[in-house]
Amino acid sequence: MVKKRLVFTLLHDGEDFVLSRNFRLQKVGNLEWLRKNYRFENTARSIDELIILNVNRDPTSISTFAEVLKAVTHGCFVPVSAGGGVRSTEDAALLLRSGADKIVLNTILHTDMDTVKNISLKFGQQCIVASVDVLTSGNGDFRSYYQNGVTPSVKTVIELLVDLQNGPIGELYLNAIHRDGTGQGYDINLLDLLPKGFNKPVILAGGVGNSEHFHKGLMDGRVDAVATAHLFNFVGDGLARARENLKKNGHVFPQWDYAQGIDSKRQGG
């Protein structure tokens, strides 16, 4: 059976970690708060990947974010993807030096594909996670946005996804702005926007409120991983319990050798 992934996403803004609801941000605590409530040496045993996103709108914030990235990823042995504010190969290199294994790109997918190609050439296509934020008006009309959900793309979602299918990216982080932080579950309709034969792994995000939402997402064959960014829904042992529930429902995840920080390649983790 194909292994799927359970992904936890952290959002960082300036000095604080934040919650997002439809891309409106609410500060919840700084790094010390996070360490107290989420010991990632333990949390990492319940997830397959950690994504950390810099949602600060200050273009100079990436150096500050890199320091936060170093602190959060210390002792965390699952793969880490990081992004937000990446505008150059130098920005990507900084995050990779600071603890990231992969780079999440969003705005420059719309504004500067040449830099995306340069990052891919320098660090490898598998290193790039393309983040696509999608909003619907509720009548079946979908539109992608960038710059933290502020600016609408000149391309349709389908056009953008076709470009990404043929482009230098490793996987897709597909996020529903209209479900973000609501706890109402994923918008599975987003997957119908994928081009036929889409050949990149898909991480589905936006709307998780409980482990049943993870299950519904993973039941769709087009989904390779499910993500949540809602800190409070999975505080304490919430992620561990969610993972166990998913395994009981037949989902298979990687199993990690925590002593060495590598995938032990055994089934049933």
- H/E/C letters for each residue in 124-138? CHHHEEEEEEEEECC
Domains: count for the chain: 1
- Asked whether residue 203 is domain-assigned, the answer is yes
Q: Is 180 a catalytic residue?
A: no
Residues 133 and 106: beta-carbon distance below 8 Å = yes
Residues 31 and 223: beta-carbon distance below 8 Å = no
- Asked whether residue 29 is domain-assigned, the answer is yes
Q: Which of 13, 133, 180, 224 is catalytic?
A: 133
d(CA 47, CA 243): 8
Quote the pLDDT of residue 263.
46
Which residues on neighbouring strands pair with residue 171, listed in sequence order?
129
Quote the pLDDT of residue 262.
45
Burial (CB count <10 Å: 0-12, 13-18, 19+), residue 154: exposed
User: Tens of pLDDT along 54-92?
Assistant: 999 887 789 999 999 999 888 778 899 999 999 999 999
- Asked whether residue 178 is domain-assigned, the answer is yes
User: Tens of pLDDT along 175-206?
Assistant: 999 999 999 999 999 999 999 999 999 999 99
d(CA 103, CA 96): 7
The CATH code of the domain that includes 115 is 3.20.20.70
Low-confidence residues in the chain, pLDDT < 70: 1, 38-42, 235, 256-269
- Asked whether residue 39 is domain-assigned, the answer is yes
- Asked whether residue 269 is domain-assigned, the answer is no
CA angle 183, 187, 192 (to 5 degrees): 170
- Asked whether residue 254 is domain-assigned, the answer is yes
Q: Write out the H or E segment, with its range, that includes residue 50.
A: strand 49-54
What predicted TM-score, i.e. pTM, was given to this entire model?
0.93
d(CA 246, CA 17): 27
Residues whose CB is less than 8 angstroms from the CB of residue 269 and which lie 6 or more positions away in sequence, other chains included: 252, 253, 254, 255, 256
Instruction: For the chain, count helices (H), then strands (E).
Output: 9, 14
